[in-house]
A and B are shown apart, each in its own frame.
Chain A
Amino acid sequence: GQNIDQPTEMTATEGAIVQINCTYQTSGFNGLFWYQQHAGEAPTFLSYNVLDGLEEKGRFSSFLSRSKGYSYLLLKELQMKDSASYLCAVRDPPSGSARQLTFGSGTQLTVLP
């Protein structure tokens, strides 16, 4: 089975730093993704981790610990436009050819002025 957990909601202030955690339990693992989804829109790709450690991409960083089944997304210098749902997703293909992702329920981030 697959289980991906992340907080339902978070609130932070413009200019601050926020960390969104994700824990997962999957039968296999072939990468962890973070997506951003604004209300009524498509998910858009933010980051990818397959090895342990930190990946940095501008204001966004993502960390992975495979032994702990844990990842976090770090958002720095928050802007109002960062208010969105952040989706943690794991690639856990039952076979080598499939590349679909299993998504968590998402963390709704509200950035306050």
Chain B
Amino acid sequence: EPEVTQTPSHQVTQMGQEVILRCVPISNHLYFYWYRQILGQKVEFLVSFYNNEISEKSEIFDDQFSVERPDGSNFTLKIRSTKLEDSAMYFCASSFGTGGTGELFFGEGSRLTVL
């Protein structure tokens, strides 16, 4: 069964460092997303990406965040200068472009710890 894959599964970094989280969405999906979940809190929307551009972003997704689809398979989230409050589980998700329920398929997540 096709799945969304994410790397790394866990990353520890120092405050102020740049971090890149990588995702390979399901191959025939057209919509890509990043969500985050701070420990014990709800899953929060960060950004959606369609047709090689950001389609929506939340207020969490400030200038420190960026996304890129550098090739036909990868979808990355970059945090330019990490802060302690960026510590969270980051989930990548993808969905079909049209038809069906359009449910999101989530990857297993990348746990980011900022020290």
Stretch with Cβ within 8 A of B (4 or more), from A11-19, A65-73, A90-98: A90-98
Q: How large is the interface on A (under 10, 10 to 19, 20 to 34, 35 or more residues)?
A: 20 to 34
Task: Tell me the complex Cα distance, A45–B103, Å.
Answer: 7
- Label chain A's interface by main secondary structure: loop
Collect the chain B residues with CB atoms within 8 Å of residue A87's CB: 42-43
Residues B104 and A45 in contact, CB atoms below 8 Å apart:
yes
How distant is A29 from chain B, measured CB to nearest CB, in Å?
A: 14
List 12 A-B residue pairs with CB atoms under 8 Å apart, sorted by A's residue number: A42-B107, A43-B43, A48-B103, A50-B101, A93-B56, A95-B56, A98-B55, A99-B48, A100-B56, A103-B42, A103-B44, A104-B42
Our count of residue pairs bridging A and B at CB distance below 8 angstroms stands at: 59
Verify A100–B33 contact, CB threshold 8 A.
Answer: yes
CB-nearest residue of chain B to A102: B45
Say which residue of A44, A45, A95, A101 sits within 8 Å of B45 (CB atoms). A101
User: Complex Cα distance A48/B106, Å?
Assistant: 16
Q: Are A98 and B108 in contact (CB under 8 A)?
A: no
- Take A94-B56, A95-B55, A98-B55 as given contacts and tell me if A106 and B101 are in contact as well, using a CB distance cutoff of 8 Å: no
Q: How far is the CA of A1 from the CA of B56 in the complex (A)?
A: 15
Q: Are B106 and A100 in contact (CB under 8 A)?
A: no
Mark interface residues in B38-50 (1 if CB within 8 Å of A CB, else 0). 0001111100101
